[in-house]
């Protein structure tokens, strides 16, 4: 059978200094004395940068999502933005993709940009 109450006797007061906090502080001090802080910092820089980058990305994604949600909730704005995108695409196609010479220049500039970005020729 399981007892319904548990009685724990009080501990006798002792004259010892410290407790859990002092034990923890002592262990942290011992650990810091055993390790080189500069070495620990160099080892921890990459993980800290990755965590910081993830936090910044998360904040920016949340803000961006909120802005897009606000724009989407306004009447007529999504349709007008879609129309602006279609007009830009038609204008781009007319200027860069209709004539063979313009198309060749566009393809050459795209390849040049790609090779600069990747660092190798395609």
**pLDDT score for 17:** 58
* More confident site: 39 or 113: 113
**pLDDT score for 34:** 80
**pLDDT score for 36:** 77
Alpha carbons 16 and 14: distance in angstroms, whole number: 5
What mean pLDDT do residues 57-61 have?
97
Predicted confidence (pLDDT) at residue 15 exceeds the cutoff of 60: no
What mean pLDDT do residues 49-70 have?
96
Predicted confidence (pLDDT) at residue 67 exceeds the cutoff of 90: yes
Residue linked to tokens 């920016």: 60
Which DSSP helix (H) or strand (E) runs through 34? helix 20-34
- State pTM to two decimals: 0.46
């Amino acid at each position: 059978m399981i007892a319904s109450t548990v009685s724990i006797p009080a501990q006798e007061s002792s004259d010892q200094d410290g407790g859990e906090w002092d034990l923890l502080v002592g262990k942290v001090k011992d650990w810091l004395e055993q390790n080189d802080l500069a070495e620990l910092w160099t080892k921890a820089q990459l993980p800290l940068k990755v965590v910081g980058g993830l936090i910044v990305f998360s904040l920016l994604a949340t803000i961006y999502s909120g802005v897009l949600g606000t724009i989407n909730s306004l009447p007529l704005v999504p349709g007008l933005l879609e129309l602006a995108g279609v007009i830009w695409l038609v204008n781009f196609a007319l200027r860069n993709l209709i004539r063979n010479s313009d198309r060749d220049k566009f393809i050459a500039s795209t390849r040049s940009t790609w090779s600069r970005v990747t660092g190798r020729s395609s």
